[in-house]
Chain A
Amino acid sequence: MVPFAGFDMPVSYTGLIEEHTAVRERVGLFDVSHMGEFIVSGPDTWKYLDRVVTNDCSKLPPDGILYTVMCRDDGTAVDDLLVSRMADDRALVVVNASNIDKDFDHMKWVASKFPRERLELHNVSDEWALIAVQGPKTRDLLKVTPMLAPIRDQIDGVAYYRWRAFNADGHPMIASRTGYTGELGFELFVPPSRATELWNQLMEAGKQFGVAPAGLGARDTLRFEASLCLYGHELDDETTPLEAGLNWLVKLGKTDFIGRGALAKEKEKGLKKKLIGFELDGRNIARQGYAIMRGDAMVGKVTSGTYGPTLKKSLCLAYVDGDSAESPDLTVQIRAHNVPANRVQIPFYPSKART
Chain B
Amino acid sequence: MDFKNVRFTKDHEWVRADGGEEVSIGITDFAAGELGDIVYVELPKVGAEVKAAQSMGTIEAVKTVADLFAPVSGVVSAINPALEQHPDLVNQDPFGDGWFVRVKVKDKKEFDALMDRSAYQSMIGK
Contact = CB atoms under 8 A, between A and B. Distances in A.
Chains A and B come from one and the same complex: yes
Interface of A: 11-12, 15-17, 217, 221, 282-285, 287, 306-307, 309, 314, 335
Of B39, B58, B62, B91, most buried by chain A (CB within 10 Å of CB) is B62
B63 A11 contact: yes
A307 B36 contact: no
27 contacts: A11-B36, A12-B36, A15-B36, A15-B37, A15-B91, A16-B62, A16-B63, A17-B37, A17-B62, A217-B62, A217-B63, A283-B39, A283-B40, A283-B60, A284-B40, A284-B58, A284-B60, A285-B39, A285-B40, A287-B65, A306-B62, A306-B63, A307-B40, A307-B60, A307-B62, A309-B37, A314-B40
A9 B3 CA distance: 35
Nearest to B40: A283
B116 interface: no
B42 interface: yes
Interface string B91-112: 1000000000000000000000
B62 to A, nearest CB: 5
A202 to B, nearest CB: 24
A240 B99 CA distance: 47
B60 A16 contact: no
A11 B62 CA distance: 12
Contacts of A284: 40, 42, 58, 60
Contact of A16 (B36, B40, B58, B65): B36
Contact of B60 (A12, A221, A285): A285
Nearest to B55: A335
A289 to B, nearest CB: 12
B interface, how many residues as a size bin?
10 to 19
A354 B91 CA distance: 35
B65 A285 contact: yes
Contacts, number: 40
A37 to B, nearest CB: 28
A306 B91 CA distance: 18
Contacts of A282: 40
Nearest to B41: A283
Interface in B20-63: 36-37, 39-40, 42, 58, 60, 62-63
A217 B58 CA distance: 21
A11 B37 CA distance: 12
A285 B64 CA distance: 9
Most A Cβ at <10 Å: residue of B58, B60, B64, B65? B60
A284 B41 CA distance: 8
A217 B35 CA distance: 12
Contacts of A314: 40
Contacts of B58: 284, 335
Contacts of A11: 36, 63
A12 B63 CA distance: 11
Contacts of B63: 11, 16, 217, 306
Contacts of B62: 16-17, 217, 221, 306-307, 309
Contacts of A221: 62
A30 B49 CA distance: 47
A283 B42 CA distance: 9
A285 B36 CA distance: 15
Nearest to A282: B40
A315 to B, nearest CB: 12
Contacts of A306: 62-63
Contacts of A309: 37, 62
Interface string B70-100: 0000000000000000000001000000000
A309 B37 CA distance: 10
A11 B63 CA distance: 10
A221 B61 CA distance: 12
A13 to B, nearest CB: 12
A307 B65 contact: no
Contacts of A287: 64-65
A16 B64 CA distance: 12
B96 to A, nearest CB: 19
